[in-house]
Amino acid sequence: MTKKPRYSRQRDAILEILKNDDGHIEAPEIHRRLRKIHPKLSLATVYRNLAQLESLKKISSIKNDSNINFFEIYREPHHHFVCEKCGGIQNLTYPTINICTSCISPHSNFKINKVATTLHGVCESCNVSQKLLNITKSF
């Protein structure tokens, strides 16, 4: 139905960055990295292509609590941990919880595209620096 998009050097480079990264990257970071080789690349182009790639299910995105969108190459569905302090995102390697999808199917007229389980809290490194701060405060 939806036809295949035309090739673009820029989109290809964006996808390549994500293929070779095992984390979750922001659009401006992708832009920064590609600028070294494609000095004319526009940030708007990065955003436009990321949106397109996501709708083609080649990549996926997740937002942190500050509404910043992080992108990664499409992987097996998995869950995420979002740090409330630094905004960093980490993968959780526990099996996907599919029960929701099957549970809601009785509500037949819903169309479910994505199930996201996200834990919010304070990550290891932020937690440690928090503790250190408390110690120094007590003096």
Partner DNA sequence: AGTCTAAATAGTATTGATTCCTACTTAGTT
Partner DNA sequence: AACTAAGTAGGAATCAATACTATTTAGACT
- Summarize as ranges the residues that interact with its own copies (CB under 8 A): 63, 67, 79, 81, 84, 92, 94, 97, 99-101, 103-104, 107, 109-124, 127-128
Q: What is the dihedral of CA 66, 70, 78, 4, to 10 degrees?
A: 140
Of the candidates 9, 7, 32, the one whose C-alpha atom is nearest the C-alpha of residue 21 is 32
Among residue numbers 57 through 116, which ones bind DNA (CB under 7 A)?
Answer: 63, 66-69
Among residue numbers 108 through 137, which ones bind DNA (CB under 7 A)?
Answer: none
Rounded to whole angstroms, how far apart are CA atoms 117 and 92?
10
Only one of the segments 50-58, 66-74, 102-110, 123-131 lies at the binding site for Mn ion (rule: CB under 5 A); that segment is: 66-74
By beta-carbon proximity to its own copies, the closer residue of 15 and 126 is 126
Among residue numbers 1 through 60, which ones bind DNA (CB under 7 A)?
Answer: 5-11, 26-28, 38, 40-45, 47-49, 51-52
Contacts 24+ apart (CB under 8 A), 29-36: 30/71, 34/10
By beta-carbon proximity to Mn ion, the closer residue of 38 and 58 is 58
Q: Which residues contact 8 (CB under 8 A, 6 or more apart)?
A: 49
DSSP state of 106: T
Q: What residue ranges bind Mn ion (CB under 5 A)?
A: 72, 91
